[in-house]
Amino acid sequence: EAGVAQSPRYKIIEKRQSVAFWCNPISGHATLYWYQQILGQGPKLLIQFQNNGVVDDSQLPKDRFSAERLKGVDSTLKIQPAKLEDSAVYLCASSPAGGNIQYFGAGTRLSVL
Amino acid sequence: SQQGEEDPQALSIQEGENATMNCSYKTSINNLQWYRQNSGRGLVHLILIRSNEREKHSGRLRVTLDTSKKSSSLLITASRAADTASYFCATDAYLASKLTFGTGTRLQVTL
């Protein structure tokens, strides 16, 4: 069974630039999550999708972050414009509908200079 | 915001020794899970314990849960160098699949 795929693995940008991350969840998983993990901390949930609908985006900085999951499968997370404090690893995870266990991708490490 | 606080922040032991890490959380939970994260990688699920359970075992892992103290512990017995990683507890509330992670314990196992 293929795991959660994320790309790119690394991205370096300057502040005020835009960046996008892509995630392809495990086939058949209805729920998709995006997390932000700052160095030395645990992951913080940014947004949760159930199929193509948003379940929770309470911690997403909506003035600069956006995410979509148009066909209920893969998803993109965008930051526009980026700030220095956005430097972090962005993790995507998925789970079956109603499942408790989440399966994580390897993440995208973003450095904002 | 982080739900859990883990203790210790860092732990260094020798191969063959046991490692114990603790997690405290703030609000009522439905389940508590432990995840491992190797450097530069995503998180991997280790074990889940439900709020009505007190102890659970999986291989070399033993998890306890004390809901009255809002705390959990993860014991890794006979540690190996391959156990070197960060360990996170994560909680979810009733009818919510959202996980809230703790701050993590960095475990270093040396030969």
> What pLDDT is attached to residue B3?
61
Rg (CA), chain A: 13
Under DSSP, is residue B70 helix (H, G, I), strand (E, B) or coil?
A: coil
Residue A16, domain member (yes or no) = yes
**Domain of residue A33, CATH code:** 2.60.40.10
Q: How many domains does chain A have?
A: 1
Residue A51, domain member (yes or no) = yes
> What pLDDT is attached to residue B95?
67
Q: Which residues of A touch B33 (CB under 8 A)?
A: 100-101
Considering Cα of B27, then A98, then A66, then B41, what sign does the dihedral take? positive
Flag whether residue B42 sits within 8 Å of chain A, measured between CB atoms. Answer: yes
Please judge whether B43 and A43 are an interchain contact, meaning their C-beta atoms are less than 8 angstroms apart. Answer: yes
pLDDT tens for chain B, 111 residues: list them. 456 788 899 999 999 999 999 999 998 899 999 999 999 899 999 999 999 999 999 999 999 999 999 999 999 999 999 999 999 999 988 766 789 999 999 999 999
Residue A111, domain member (yes or no) = no
Q: How many domains does chain B have?
A: 1
> What pLDDT is attached to residue A15?
97
> What pLDDT is attached to residue B1?
47
Query: Which range marks the domain in which residue B39 is found?
Result: 5-110
> What pLDDT is attached to residue B71?
96
Residue A109, domain member (yes or no) = no
Please judge whether B42 and A95 are an interchain contact, meaning their C-beta atoms are less than 8 angstroms apart. Answer: no
A38, two tokens: 């700052």
B103, two tokens: 């701050």
Contact, B79 vs B15, CB < 8 A?
yes
Query: Which range marks the domain in which residue A42 is found?
Result: 5-103
Flag whether residue A103 sits within 8 Å of chain B, measured between CB atoms. Answer: yes
Name residues of chain A where pLDDT drops below 70. Answer: 1
**Domain of residue B48, CATH code:** 2.60.40.10
> What pLDDT is attached to residue B96?
67
Cα–Cα distance between A61 and B45 in angstroms, integer? 27
Flag whether residue A112 sits within 8 Å of chain B, measured between CB atoms. Answer: no
Q: Which residues of A touch B4 (CB under 8 A)?
A: 42
Closest partner CB to B103 (pick from A42, A91, A106):
A42
